[in-house]
């Protein structure tokens, strides 16, 4: 018999103004994390509360793989909760981080997320959740649009080389799809200088009244 989960939403005593979720998406090597961290630095220097949730960093803990979980939690636990890079695992990866990003947003934080997040439906679900708890302007999709050939030239982790050599399967842009945003709030030319791209994002936040104070 499936155990029924009995949970009730508990309203918080403190009513805080919401921040926003700035969702960077693009191919591996497109510059998502680099631009997000540059935006974070600019916001920090101007005394705004922000934080970067980075795809690789999150997979070291919250969304860890089976290999990382098994030593401390055992094989059965690791098989059940560890995440790989198949379609369902990617969906769960984005679902979890979407929930975390929304919590950060509810605390008033400008939450910068840098994830490949290749499936449009996954990003749309996060958008729907964030705006359901706030308003339409609380979710800002930033498409770091960098051509595949430039991403491969950069290849900072050597992943494209492994994918081309057949040592890595299911890699986005090579043998797995990437669904680019149809109407992102911010569309960045990933081949442009990082400072320029970060300024473009900050300017969008300013012009849409997301930077208070």
Give the global pTM. 0.92
The residue among 199, 205, 197 whose CA lies nearest residue 20 is 205
- Dihedral angle computed from the Cα positions of residues 35, 41, 42 and 45, in that order, rounded to the nearest 10 degrees: 180
Q: Where are the domains of the chain?
A: 20-54+103-207
Please name the residues in contact with 120: beta carbons below 8 A apart, sequence gap of 6 or more: 179, 180, 181, 182
Please determine, looking at this structure, whether the domain spanning 20-54+103-207 carries the CATH number 3.90.1150.10.
no
So what's the pLDDT on residue 10? 86
* Cα–Cα distance for residue pair 20/136, rounded to 1 Å: 10
**Number of neighbouring beta carbons within 10 Å of residue 8:** 4
User: In tens digits, what is the pLDDT along the chain, a chain of 213 residues?
Assistant: 567 778 888 888 888 889 999 999 999 999 999 999 999 999 999 999 999 999 899 999 999 999 999 999 999 999 999 999 999 999 999 999 999 999 999 999 999 999 999 999 999 999 999 999 888 899 999 999 999 999 999 988 899 999 999 998 889 999 999 999 999 999 999 999 999 999 999 999 999 989 875
What secondary structure letter does DSSP report for 64? -
Catalytic, out of 117, 121, 191, 207: 117
So what's the pLDDT on residue 156? 84
So what's the pLDDT on residue 105? 96
SS3 159: helix
User: Sign of the CA dihedral 160, 165, 170, 175?
Assistant: positive
Q: Is 117 a catalytic residue?
A: yes
């Amino acid at each position: 018999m499936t155990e029924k989960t009995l949970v009730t939403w508990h309203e918080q005593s403190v009513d805080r103004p919401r921040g926003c979720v700035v969702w960077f998406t693009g191919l591996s090597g497109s510059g998502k994390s680099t631009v997000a961290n540059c935006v974070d630095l600019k916001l920090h220097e101007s005394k705004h509360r922000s934080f970067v949730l980075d795809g690789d960093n999150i997979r070291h803990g919250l969304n860890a793989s089976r290999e990382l979980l098994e030593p401390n939690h055992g094989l059965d636990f690791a098989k059940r909760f560890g995440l790989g890079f198949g379609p369902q695992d990617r969906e769960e990866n984005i679902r979890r981080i979407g929930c975390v990003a929304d919590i950060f947003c509810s605390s008033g934080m400008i939450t910068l997320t840098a994830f490949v997040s290749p499936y449009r439906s996954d990003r749309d679900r996060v958008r729907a959740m964030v705006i359901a708890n706030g308003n339409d302007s609380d979710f800002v999709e930033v498409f770091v649009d960098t051509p595949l050939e430039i991403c491969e030239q950069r290849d900072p982790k050597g992943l494209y080389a492994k994918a081309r050599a057949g040592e890595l399967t299911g890699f986005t842009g090579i043998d797995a799809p990437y669904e680019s945003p149809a109407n992102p709030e911010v569309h960045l030319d990933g081949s442009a200088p990082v400072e320029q791209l970060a300024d473009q994002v900050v300017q969008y936040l300013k012009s849409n009244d997301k930077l208070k104070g």
